[in-house]
Amino acid sequence: MIASSVLKDVLHKALSTGADYAEVFVERTKHKQISMVDRKIGEITDLTIAGVGIRIFKGTRSVCGSTSSWDPADLLRCAGQVADALNDAPNLQTIHLHERLFGDIHPIRIVPATVENSRKIELLKEAEAAARGFDPVISQVAARIMDFDHQIQLATSEGLLTQDRQIRTRIVCSAIASKNGENQTGTCSPGRRMGLEMFDTILPADVGIRAARQAVTMIDAGYIPAGKMPVAIENGFGGVIFHEACGHSLEATSVAVGQSQFCGKLGQQIANTKVTAIDDGTIPNAWGSINVDDEGTPARRNVLIENGILKSYMVDKLNGRRMGMASTGNCRRESYEFEPTSRMTNTFIAPGQDKNEDIIRSIEYGLYAKEMGGGSVNPITGQFNFAVNEGYIIRNGEICEPVRGASLIGKGSDVLMDIDMVGSDLATGQGMCGSSSGSIPVDVGQPLIRVSSITVGGR
């Protein structure tokens, strides 16, 4: 990507006002998206993102700059601007860049950028046609197929020089059911850190059918009455509850500056003893996996909570300095334009011992949340919310009629204690997680779980 002699000059410039650490992050990403609506391919976009992010530390102070130029003169100018924020004596350390390659545990058989549009269009149309054909009430289908080829190069004043290439593929299908002047939607959007071989195991038609089934189910559903009740949350994307209710509050971004409800709780019980939660960036070809993080630390499997006890936060280098802890390989950024910080990778609640039928049978009146939508959290207050895209009333231990318009809200520290049954069938779902360092791919996951009581928003 950029010659190591240039990177070395840029690092020296960045250290010229007394920083004790400097880092250069180089990115070149190719992104393609093909979209269809009204049964026709409507938009195709190609995008090349290229730029450089330069960051320095002095103790726990951080300064970051970026430029969308690779010109050595522009890089030196950007390093100079970053350095200008400090005004101490220059750090004259000699930098020797030694290249280190951490290996790639995510084999790619079909690099999407080398495949012609027509093959991707075939895959997209399979999903679209399956959704359309599912039921006559499906009035519209919007679908898109995306691929990303994200190449990064990192050089640090500690002498590390490394590279990684992250290839991802995703298909998104949204179906709309219309009846009596009302619309309801259903969406399915699987993705992998894979090339087009992803579609050997994830059939586009299944994606379309899943989206359509959800829209058709919800068009005939009534609204859920509001109130507090027990909720059974299905596996897969259901894991967004842990991601929002707890995951973000365990990121050093919040913890290091006292902005998390889990500050100072290491070794303490913060969740029900049935809960073990893990963030694992090393799962081969998973959507949220990385080989190295965006600071050059190899990805790891971190047990966050073990049988209810808080074991680890997710830590990046800068916040690690603030906390006196080492990086856990969780530093991520959407692109060179963002300041990187601690983020999740693939985060899930580990399988437990409860049987699915026992979980449903245990609920006299409550909600079965089969498909979840996205959510958000404020790590400071711990208040989270997320949407239920497909829900059903549970009555006397049986799953009954579908209900729409439900959202679940609560406080992270409360809901973790209230997860009192955990099934054994772990599955994951894919999402784009937004936070201060941008939008990044993450997996969420869990088996079927029961939350003994939670506020359900409805009408």
Partner 1 sequence: MTYSEFKQAVMANAAAQGLEEYDLFYSESNAASAVMLKQGIRSYLTNASRGACFRCIYHGKPGYAATELFTAEQAEELVAAAMENAASIESDDQVFIHGVGDTYRQLAEKSLRTPTGAQLIEKATDTLNACFAASDRLTDASEAEVEYLQTKVALCNSKGLDLQAENACSTLVAGAIVNEGEDAYIGVDYTCDDFDALQPEQLAKKAVDQVLSKIGADSVESGKYTVVISNETMCSLLATYCGVFSAAQMQRGLSLLKDKEGTAIASPLVTLVDDPFYADSLVQMPFDHEGVAAYTKKVIDNGIFQTPLHNLTTAAKAGCKSTGNGAKGGYAAPVGIAPFTFYIAKGEGGDLAQMLEQAHDGLYITSLDGLHAGANAISGDFSLLAGGYRITDGKRGSAVHNITISGNFFDLLREICLIGDDLRLSQPSGFTCFGSPCVMVKNMSIAGK
Q: Which of residues 344-403 bind partner 1 (CB under 8 A)?
A: 373-376, 378, 380-387
User: Can residue 97 be called a binding residue for partner 1 (CB under 8 A)?
Assistant: no
Q: What is the rounded CA–CA span in Å between residue 391 and residue 341?
A: 35
Residues 151-180 that bind partner 1 (CB under 8 A): 176, 178
Residues 113-152 that bind partner 1 (CB under 8 A): 117-118, 121, 139-140, 142
**Out of 9, 158, 206, 339, which residue is the one contacting partner 1 (CB under 8 A)?**
339
**Out of 82, 130, 145, 422, which residue is the one contacting partner 1 (CB under 8 A)?**
82
* Nearer CB in complex with partner 1: 100/322: 322
* Nearer CB in complex with partner 1: 38/89: 38
**Out of 40, 103, 324, 396, which residue is the one contacting partner 1 (CB under 8 A)?**
40
User: Can residue 61 be called a binding residue for partner 1 (CB under 8 A)?
Assistant: yes
User: Can residue 452 be called a binding residue for partner 1 (CB under 8 A)?
Assistant: no
Among 76-84, 96-104, 149-157, 196-204, which window interacts with partner 1 (CB under 8 A)?
A: 76-84
User: Can residue 246 be called a binding residue for partner 1 (CB under 8 A)?
Assistant: no
User: Can residue 70 be called a binding residue for partner 1 (CB under 8 A)?
Assistant: yes
Smallest separation (angstroms) from partner 1 to the CB of 212? 14
Q: What is the rounded CA–CA span in Å between residue 413 and residue 370?
A: 23
- How many binding residues for partner 1 (CB under 8 A)? 83
Residues 207-236 that bind partner 1 (CB under 8 A): 223, 226-228
User: Can residue 257 be called a binding residue for partner 1 (CB under 8 A)?
Assistant: yes
User: Can residue 424 be called a binding residue for partner 1 (CB under 8 A)?
Assistant: no
User: Can residue 268 be called a binding residue for partner 1 (CB under 8 A)?
Assistant: no
User: Can residue 63 be called a binding residue for partner 1 (CB under 8 A)?
Assistant: yes
278-317 footprint of partner 1 as x/- string (CB under 8 A): ----------------------------------------
User: Can residue 85 be called a binding residue for partner 1 (CB under 8 A)?
Assistant: yes
Smallest separation (angstroms) from partner 1 to the CB of 434? 8
**Out of 4, 151, 185, 424, which residue is the one contacting partner 1 (CB under 8 A)?**
185
Task: Kindly state the tokens that stand for 371.
Answer: 């498909």
